Structure 1
């Protein structure tokens, strides 16, 4: 029989059969298991290593899944997944057809609430707790685990504000490690830092003022302390708050020393922690985020009115370059997308040129601000939407596939998608010269296609598309970087089929180049539109609407993300699933021909 305790854990019920004295050994084994798998399969590392003891303690003290546990964001839920029956398939994490990288209700009864975006845990767990009260389930426990970066978000404050005036049986565990993906920022972070060393603040703090039974801060790696405090809090009714201090990346020295890089380090040596570098050549094209980051510095050095704003993603967006080069004009506002958008709008009223860089999937969280505070007032905020389209293994919560549809319906909004890095530079240059409307520039995650991307700037004409390849029979109209899939698809055709197939990069979803569209509808018998966004209401819909308005009766095939949530997998795999891979596009061209 194996001496490893983890080998015999298939559910929290098995965990609870262990003695408290055995739990430190289990914590070491769980940490090793996570490191072993993630070192090869990749994924989010540091967050899960930091909550190993907390994960064990929560499932040991509380009767999950009857007692309900909600993980904020979910980067830290790997240990939770392993202890709740998914150990044997954990190697499929973030893979096509495998486990999601985040908690997911369809995946397990222990995943009580699906997460992926931050700061939702308090509201969700409060809703569960209030529902339990209404059903007379007074002994049922509800726990939200939230980080110090996430609790500074507006939604978390809204949840705290409501919970404090209820009798809901809710426990909020603040996992305080002073870092989200990048280091935490803001006044709340400064306050929490002081609480750690000033016990007077701990006794008279903002959480107690909101009517919570506050405990802490305590060492989140001290299992006896955790077990004792959780057991005590379990017996107390009403809203409770436990403040714990942890180290992100705990147990792997390299991850503790470089917490930003080891949030999701890629492949690494599980013994030394050394990251295994991917082959890099000077001929390789850059990441789109780096093109943005270097370009905004280049522009801002010549234009003193330019400011950069990001909600907690300075590294992921590469605004870090401007924060280093021109720190007084680059701002990380924390996990606060709504604030970021309206802050940019406020700056724009005073004549500043606001580049507001937000991941496409996260701009959804500030939709009202985009409409009410920017577009309605026609303020020329420049939105740079990173991670647009299919993003890969982060899955459904992170794909940026709805932006074209939810932005093009907003009056005054210009919507642009560059086909390559040069186009991204040129639209950024054009936008800072002065636009009369707000603009959204959306570009994908990962590398581009142009090694020699740093070319002299060229001013672009707003609302102008361009021909990429002439043809005689069918026209493919693409938007954004998915154009490369069209090029590859056409390369797969015979010479005669290539002659018949034209390709246009429309560049702007709004305003559409109607002059060019009239020429296309007049010249070709059939059209295919292509986008790496949702088909419903997106770019293809805009072209179909144009055809209907103008009485064109041509065959139009709209290709893009179908009306479903696309799960995790590599970008190439998911393009194939959505039928927008080069092979699938080529097949549809042949059907039309």
Structure 2
């Protein structure tokens, strides 16, 4: 039995000898590498906090003491030490262990955040709650990375903690000099001076009125425990500065200067070996290429546009490579700005650049734009600033779970006056939309695309007022208009095929630019008996709702059906499986459309199709 197998909870840690603790750190790192490289997930951040997590659970008594983690992607070790080590084979798998803290999994998981810079505010509020209740025997611990200190909300929390010198909160600063990428800005420079011992005088934390302890070696268990015990006895807010190494203990990660194995993809399954005497397998069918990765298509096209457009600048929030800006940055370093984990600053800074005559391209994950909605609305759109937002990981992202699904953007976009939004369906339309977006000079634009590969290009059979017609019914058949939003084109075409097999006339149109709703789309919808919209955004207030409202405002009596993602926080799982569970399949769309047309004189066709396309059938 390995040492990690003997740890069923934090209480088992406190009786371990130094040699057993060393064995435990080895076991944990071995388990991390073995399982995370198999399932995919955040490896580098977790390798770097092994000793720190052990020390926290030996000094503090979770769950009575509340240990909270900023961002949450570095909590795999915390999960192992709180009784979940045996569950790691199911990490990030449907129905299995979440890749982030999960209150449903364990009482030791206090919060479920995966957006950075929030934990100090959580800790401030929780400590206030205990003070109001007269509770003085529970510690509140907030673990935050140096990268998250580039986010303004972290300083809002620290500012409020500093105003309450008797509020006992331990802020553990996990300083590994990077978030996804190396930490940027004046904070990074100050922490570097503290690490090296070159800084003279009080730290910035002490100047704010907080106690400061450190720096301490974050891989020295004895030193960590001594420091944490000292900090917890100070009776007020204190910052404990721990120096750790991202990717620690795994040589490939330690040598990786790009992101220290921040996140790894699942390891391909080994091929099964044939049994002795078995006949050789038949040759495999040719594999149709899935197409390039959406991010790579954007990356290459933006770099090419940057060559032709000297006014283009690119902005990211600590995610240069994941959002596809690396190639642009290599070609145009002076026109590329990484502002750290500060989406709000990124957007308002872009507005300033636009006022100065540049055209900024702000590249973010769709889920992180939520944090900068006010800036998009009032700092960009109100000023009609020509800023282009490029949102990666839009729609359902899958295995990262509820907080990473980019299923809110199309709903939020409906609220922004003057914003034009494109949803490309494939690589070709992404290139086209990006060129069109950066050509707009009288207001903001946005384009969004999902995680993964683009699939093959889907050509249009016709165009209508700037919209792409992907399938056109016979001139006399005006049964159904299917409106495809972005990557839903393939599903819409499958639904059209199923309906056409049973005699229904179906036209499939991809507006490409979906916000505001094109006038031509409304006119086309009024010529049909039913309009159905399909998107991978939340159903509430999305593109489908906007199209239905536009039809109603035009006086149309055409009924509509909207297909999208259920308006709830979705459990982690594969994108494909979540789309199926959400009813976003050609089979289900065809069935619902048939039921919606059931009042017409097509009873025979309707009953036949409904019988053959039962509810809940897979694709």
**Shorter-chain TM-score range:** over 0.9
Q: Distance in 2 between matches of 1:572 and 1:151?
A: 35
Q: Which residue of 1 aligns with 2:262?
A: 263
Q: Could you say if the C-alpha distance between residues 582 and 185 of structure 1 is closer, same or farther in structure 2, counting changes exceeding 3 Å? A: farther
Matched position secondary structure for 1:126: helix
Q: Distance in 2 between matches of 1:431 and 1:210?
A: 44
Pick one of 245, 248, 257 that aligns with 2:246. 248
Pick one of 503, 509, 516 that aligns with 1:504. 509
Tell me if 1:551 matches 2:552. Answer: no
Shift of the alpha carbon at 1:519?
A: 2.2
Q: Which residue of 2 aligns with 1:274?
A: none
Matched position secondary structure for 2:390: strand
Shift of the alpha carbon at 1:377?
A: 1.1
Matched position secondary structure for 1:263: coil
Pick one of 469, 472, 489 that aligns with 2:471. 469
Shift of the alpha carbon at 1:58?
A: 0.4
**Partners of 2:480 and 2:531 within 8 A in 1:** yes
Shift of the alpha carbon at 1:350?
A: 1.3
Shift of the alpha carbon at 1:199?
A: 5.0
Q: Could you say if the C-alpha distance between residues 168 and 306 of structure 1 is closer, same or farther in structure 2, counting changes exceeding 3 Å? A: same
Q: Which residue of 2 aligns with 1:402?
A: 408
Q: Distance in 2 between matches of 1:261 and 1:211?
A: 34
Q: Which residue of 2 aligns with 1:424?
A: 430
Tell me if 1:139 matches 2:137. Answer: yes
Shift of the alpha carbon at 1:555?
A: 2.8
Shift of the alpha carbon at 1:268?
A: 5.0
Q: Which residue of 2 aligns with 1:277?
A: none
Q: Distance in 2 between matches of 1:195 and 1:281?
A: 55
Pick one of 158, 162, 165 that aligns with 1:164. 162
Q: Which residue of 1 aligns with 2:176?
A: 177
**Partners of 2:193 and 2:199 within 8 A in 1:** no
Shift of the alpha carbon at 1:431?
A: 2.5
Matched position secondary structure for 2:395: coil
Pick one of 519, 538, 541 that aligns with 1:534. 538
Q: Distance in 2 between matches of 1:498 and 1:359?
A: 42
Shift of the alpha carbon at 1:55?
A: 0.6
Tell me if 1:25 matches 2:4. Answer: no
Q: Deviations over 1:72-127 (max 9, x none)?
A: 10110001111112222222221112222111223221111111110111111111
Q: Distance in 1 between matches of 2:209 and 2:578?
A: 47
Tell me how large the CA RMSD over aligned residues is: 2.2
Which has the larger displacement, 426-435 or 138-147?
426-435
| TM-score (normalizing by structure 1) | 0.92
Q: Which residue of 2 aligns with 1:514?
A: 519
Any gaps of 5 or more consecutive residues in structure 1?
A: 271-279, 454-459
Shift of the alpha carbon at 1:231?
A: 1.5
Q: Could you say if the C-alpha distance between residues 160 and 302 of structure 1 is closer, same or farther in structure 2, counting changes exceeding 3 Å? A: same
Which has the larger displacement, 334-343 or 494-503?
494-503
**Partners of 1:572 and 1:581 within 8 A in 2:** no
Q: Distance in 2 between matches of 1:132 and 1:402?
A: 34
Tell me if 1:16 matches 2:14. Answer: yes
Task: Give 1:369-408 correspondences, 5 Å limit.
Answer: 369-408=375-414
Q: Distance in 2 between matches of 1:258 and 1:451?
A: 35
**Partners of 2:472 and 2:507 within 8 A in 1:** yes
Shift of the alpha carbon at 1:475?
A: 1.7
Q: Could you say if the C-alpha distance between residues 498 and 28 of structure 1 is closer, same or farther in structure 2, counting changes exceeding 3 Å? A: farther
Q: Deviations over 1:560-585 (max 9, x none)?
A: 01121112111101101211134433
Q: Which residue of 1 aligns with 2:455?
A: 449
Pick one of 325, 346, 351 that aligns with 2:352. 346
Tell me if 1:578 matches 2:577. Answer: no
Pick one of 431, 435, 460 that aligns with 2:441. 435
**Partners of 1:214 and 1:240 within 8 A in 2:** yes
Q: Could you say if the C-alpha distance between residues 498 and 448 of structure 1 is closer, same or farther in structure 2, counting changes exceeding 3 Å? A: farther
Q: Distance in 2 between matches of 1:433 and 1:406?
A: 23
**Partners of 1:286 and 1:451 within 8 A in 2:** no
Q: Which residue of 1 aligns with 2:338?
A: 332
Matched position secondary structure for 1:140: coil
Which has the larger displacement, 427-436 or 552-561?
427-436
Shift of the alpha carbon at 1:376?
A: 0.9
**Partners of 2:525 and 2:558 within 8 A in 1:** no
Q: Which residue of 1 aligns with 2:610?
A: none
Matched position secondary structure for 2:308: coil
Q: Distance in 2 between matches of 1:357 and 1:140?
A: 42
Which has the larger displacement, 261-270 or 162-171?
261-270
**Partners of 2:5 and 2:85 within 8 A in 1:** no
Q: Distance in 2 between matches of 1:152 and 1:399?
A: 23
**Partners of 2:39 and 2:267 within 8 A in 1:** no
Pick one of 561, 567, 571 that aligns with 1:563. 567
Q: Distance in 2 between matches of 1:269 and 1:439?
A: 38
Q: Distance in 2 between matches of 1:240 and 1:106?
A: 30
Q: Which residue of 2 aligns with 1:486?
A: 492
Pick one of 29, 39, 45 that aligns with 1:41. 39
Q: Distance in 2 between matches of 1:177 and 1:562?
A: 39
**Partners of 1:464 and 1:512 within 8 A in 2:** no
Q: Rg larger in 1 or in 2?
A: 2
Q: Deviations over 1:325-349 (max 9, x none)?
A: 1100011111110010011100101
Q: Which residue of 2 aligns with 1:275?
A: none
Q: Distance in 2 between matches of 1:388 and 1:196?
A: 39
Q: Distance in 1 between matches of 2:346 and 2:500?
A: 50
Q: Distance in 1 between matches of 2:507 and 2:457?
A: 26
Shift of the alpha carbon at 1:198?
A: 2.0
Pick one of 580, 588, 592 that aligns with 1:588. 592
Shift of the alpha carbon at 1:499?
A: 5.6
Q: Which residue of 2 aligns with 1:112?
A: 110
Q: Distance in 1 between matches of 2:452 and 2:335?
A: 26
Q: Which residue of 2 aligns with 1:94?
A: 92
Shift of the alpha carbon at 1:25?
A: 1.6
Q: Distance in 2 between matches of 1:433 and 1:404?
A: 22
Q: Distance in 2 between matches of 1:424 and 1:242?
A: 46
Q: Distance in 2 between matches of 1:588 and 1:252?
A: 52
Q: Deviations over 1:17-59 (max 9, x none)?
A: 3245532221111111111211211111111110010111101
Task: Give 1:272-291 correspondences, 5 Å limit.
Answer: 284-291=290-297
Which has the larger displacement, 51-60 or 479-488?
479-488
**Partners of 2:317 and 2:346 within 8 A in 1:** yes
Q: Distance in 1 between matches of 2:250 and 2:591?
A: 48
Shift of the alpha carbon at 1:16?
A: 2.4
**Partners of 1:34 and 1:49 within 8 A in 2:** yes
